[in-house]
Structure 1
Amino acid sequence: MELNSLKDAFDRVAKKQKLSCCKTQEVTDQIVQEIEKAIEVIQSRTLDYKSVLADLKKNLHKIAPLCQLEGTQKELNIVLSKYPKALEKVLNPDISKAYRNIEFDSHTVNHIIASHFYQHGLFEVGDCFITKSGDVESAAAMRSPFQELYQILEAVKSRNLELALKWAATNSDKLKENGSDLQLRLHHLQFVKILQKGRRDEALKYARTNFASFAGNHMAEVQKLMGCLLYSDRLHESPYARLLSPTNWDIVAEELTRQFCNLLGQSYESPLSVTIAAGVQGLPPLLKFMTVMAGKKQEWQSMKQLPVPVELDKEFQFHSIFVCPVSKEQSTDDNPPMLISCGHVLCKQSINKMSKNGSKSFKCPYCPTDINATLCRQLNF
């Protein structure tokens, strides 16, 4: 919401600046036009140049360029002076207010940072970091698989699918378990690549050799590729021209990276990237809270739970959670969600509190049903 207000403020500045520029250009064009007219008259020598200059001065006075520009410039200055204040209000320049003194395992943190460098292909940076952190023993184990990945990706960039096909064939069973059609996509690209060169017979032979195992689950895709054979000499003008798009290679490269990381037991996005992105989203409410709690820093440092709700986007929600509607607390292993007989769900501690540890029945807070605590069942999300 705050970012929307900041965007609106920026749009107002941009609009006023555009109006100011347009007005300035309009007045400048008028001045240039009058001067050019005066020059033409002087060059024709039909009149005395003094009278021409006097007329020019008179016309420029009528145009009144400064008066015309003052209004738009004043409006621009007003919105420009307000914009920095809007920035400071939304984008707190001192994020250290939300800092908490928490001890981290340095070995784990170093491992996460180094893994981030290797996962993004920054091998020299990763090696340098590992050397500085003194954890050289784990470097080879982290670096080796990602070196293989980037060798494959570099080959794919060069439109060479040999390494990618070899890796996919080696891991075909695991890819099927993950529900990935990466192997078919790679064969798809190789088939089109051969056909694009006009080698129709070779493409047909490749299809017979590699597409048979995919016909059961991907018949429509295989049939579409077979249709390309009819246009082998003019594929770019055929109904299948979209198969030549470079975007197809980018999509396969991304899927290859995703599946490669998945088989390594790692996420497609590095933990460091996810942590930073989530932190950026969660920072504004924490800074607001710290502004309210000014002067109570010690209390902030001792808190065991976040004092304010921090809403994150769906990409940061990795598992289901349940918040008890009575206690407003998130469920835990010790305080799991419980299904009561009327169909509503409460946390175990809330049920125990309302039923005096199961010694008596209680009324559901959402409906008038009497609930027997012994009949409540634990839910697993």
Structure 2
Amino acid sequence: MAHLLNSLDSGYQSFYIDKNKDETWLSRTYNDTHEFKIQLKKLKAHLNKCIQDAEEDELNATGNVKNINNEKEILKRAKKRGLVISKLNKASRQWNNNVTKQVKLSGIQYNKFKNQTNMKSHNGDLDSVYINKISEEYKNDIYLAIGYHIARYGLGEMQTVKRNEIETYLKDVYGLDEKVAAIYISMTEKINNIKTYNTKDCINDYDKNSDIYFEIYLLDIMILIKDKNILTTLEYLRKSTSRSFFNNKSSIIVEKISPFLTKVMLGLEVENIDELLNQQVDICVDLVSKDYCKQNKISFDSSLFSIILSGIISLQFFIKYNNIQKALHVDWTTKNELPFNVKLPESVSKFHSIFICPVLKEETTIENPPYSLPCHHVISRKALDKLSKNGTISFKCPYCPVAATISKTMKVNFILL
């Protein structure tokens, strides 16, 4: 999988002419064609001028107008016509060669990329690769992870469905708590409001000095500029902008708002406003989602996606391990631990799932989970039983003077926020 990801990355980069990804071969073809059209227009103007001059010469030769027969002038115009035709032939050949070359290169790169994406990483039955099947007791956790994923990313497709019906669906089908479902539904409503340019309620939820408020404020300005409401834009800037709003944001304002404001004042049209507006919507959606997840203590990323991606990447290691196992007739007996290391991308490895008990110096497991004391120090279940003598006495935290009983402790679950 790592090899496949690198191949796909290099294949994707090959669509571009340079490493900076500024221009693709197809965009170069488009630019060359546009330049060729400009040259044709110029040459057309030259040819029209030559035709007009030729007609004047013909009239002069018949004596209908003042005779200005001049052999040198006629030769000069004939030379000019020859030069125009020569330029036309040169521009045509150059454009044809460039387009042919660029289309050929693009075709080669697209075919390579298609072959890489269709390449199978494993031939045969995948069930023979990973023999440790998922236990039935974890099936509910899988359904719950699917529910969280749908609640996080799939509710945008259910805008016409009533809120209580969505909550009931997530609870009955995936076992998602109604309170948690309500949190995700509210976040989806916020995101949809931003995507539909309805930012009035959303912007009022944030402090005027916050980065989120500023980005939504900038989005509002872009929306007004796109609608070409010059007076409304100026009125919005006047009413919604206070002196404190500019604190610590002068450089950003000069970079982002000043160009828009200047063009509005001059009555000029803002180029690629649709593209800039879509980029600003993405920025606002990302900031609002992260802040909402943080405030409500829910995961920003999908656990289901992270788990599936980790499984796909680790597949090649399981294949290699199975081949070694069959050849050497060896087995791995340790539970809850792989016999090899899997290098995962940073996006799915921002935290480490292993917790070592600081008292007994051993790794926590499903049978020996971590527990939090009233002082928030964390130890393993075995250490907790040992200190409390199986819950019969109170005890002092090993790391601070706070006393604790087993009834005041809580089981710890590590999640990625």
Relative to the length of structure 1, the TM-score reads 0.51
Residue 187 (1) aligns with residue 239 (2): no
Aligned pairs (5 A) from 1:1-381: 2-3=3-4, 90-96=121-127, 97-101=129-133, 103=135, 104-122=137-155, 127-128=168-169, 130-132=171-173, 135=175, 138-166=176-204, 168-169=205-206, 172=207, 176=210, 181-212=211-242, 213-223=244-254, 224-232=256-264, 237=269, 244-294=276-326, 299-300=331-332, 302-319=334-351, 332-334=356-358
Counterpart contact for 2:199–2:220, Cα < 8 Å: yes
Measure, in 1, the Cα distance between the counterparts of 2:219 and 2:170: 38
Measure, in 1, the Cα distance between the counterparts of 2:189 and 2:6: 46
Measure, in 2, the Cα distance between the counterparts of 1:287 and 1:310: 12
Residue aligned with 2:181, SS: helix
Which runs of 5 or more structure 2 residues have no equivalent in the other structure? Answer: 12-114, 363-417
Measure, in 1, the Cα distance between the counterparts of 2:267 and 2:284: 21
Measure, in 2, the Cα distance between the counterparts of 1:297 and 1:251: 54
Q: After TM superposition, which residue ranges in structure 1, 4 or more long, deviate above 6 angstroms?
A: 4-7, 295-298
Counterpart contact for 1:285–1:310, Cα < 8 Å: yes
Give the letter for the 1:142 counterpart. V
Report the Cα offset of residue 188 of structure 1: 0.8
Measure, in 1, the Cα distance between the counterparts of 2:272 and 2:123: 52
Residue aligned with 2:326, SS: coil
Counterpart contact for 1:127–1:139, Cα < 8 Å: no
Report the CA distance shift for 1:159/1:331 in structure 2 as closer, same or farther (over 3 A): closer
Report the Cα offset of residue 271 of structure 1: 0.9
Report the Cα offset of residue 232 of structure 1: 1.5
Counterpart contact for 1:195–1:232, Cα < 8 Å: yes
Counterpart contact for 1:261–1:267, Cα < 8 Å: yes
RMSD of aligned Cα (Å): 4.3
Counterpart contact for 1:118–1:126, Cα < 8 Å: no
Report the Cα offset of residue 235 of structure 1: 6.2
1:224-258 deviations in whole A, cap 9, x for unaligned? Answer: 52453332266664589688543222332233223
Counterpart contact for 1:121–1:150, Cα < 8 Å: no
Partner of 1:75: none
Report the CA distance shift for 1:241/1:109 in structure 2 as closer, same or farther (over 3 A): closer
Report the Cα offset of residue 276 of structure 1: 0.9
Report the Cα offset of residue 118 of structure 1: 1.1
Residue aligned with 2:339, SS: coil
Residue aligned with 1:120, SS: helix
Measure, in 2, the Cα distance between the counterparts of 1:234 and 1:193: 18
Give the letter for the 1:91 counterpart. H
Report the CA distance shift for 1:243/1:128 in structure 2 as closer, same or farther (over 3 A): closer
Report the Cα offset of residue 302 of structure 1: 4.9
Report the CA distance shift for 1:150/1:129 in structure 2 as closer, same or farther (over 3 A): closer
Residue aligned with 2:154, SS: coil
Measure, in 2, the Cα distance between the counterparts of 1:232 and 1:2: 50
Counterpart contact for 1:196–1:235, Cα < 8 Å: no
Measure, in 1, the Cα distance between the counterparts of 2:133 and 2:333: 7
Report the Cα offset of residue 314 of structure 1: 1.6
Counterpart contact for 1:152–1:164, Cα < 8 Å: yes
Give the letter for the 2:289 counterpart. T
Report the CA distance shift for 1:6/1:253 in structure 2 as closer, same or farther (over 3 A): closer
Measure, in 2, the Cα distance between the counterparts of 1:195 and 1:129: 40
Give the letter for the 1:217 counterpart. N
Report the CA distance shift for 1:194/1:139 in structure 2 as closer, same or farther (over 3 A): same
Which runs of 5 or more structure 1 residues have no equivalent in the other structure? Answer: 11-82, 322-329, 337-381
1:204-232 deviations in whole A, cap 9, x for unaligned? Answer: 34334434333112112234524533322
Give the letter for the 1:118 counterpart. A
Report the Cα offset of residue 198 of structure 1: 4.5
Report the CA distance shift for 1:320/1:98 in structure 2 as closer, same or farther (over 3 A): closer
Relative to the length of structure 2, the TM-score reads 0.47
Measure, in 1, the Cα distance between the counterparts of 2:336 and 2:279: 48
Report the CA distance shift for 1:207/1:109 in structure 2 as closer, same or farther (over 3 A): same
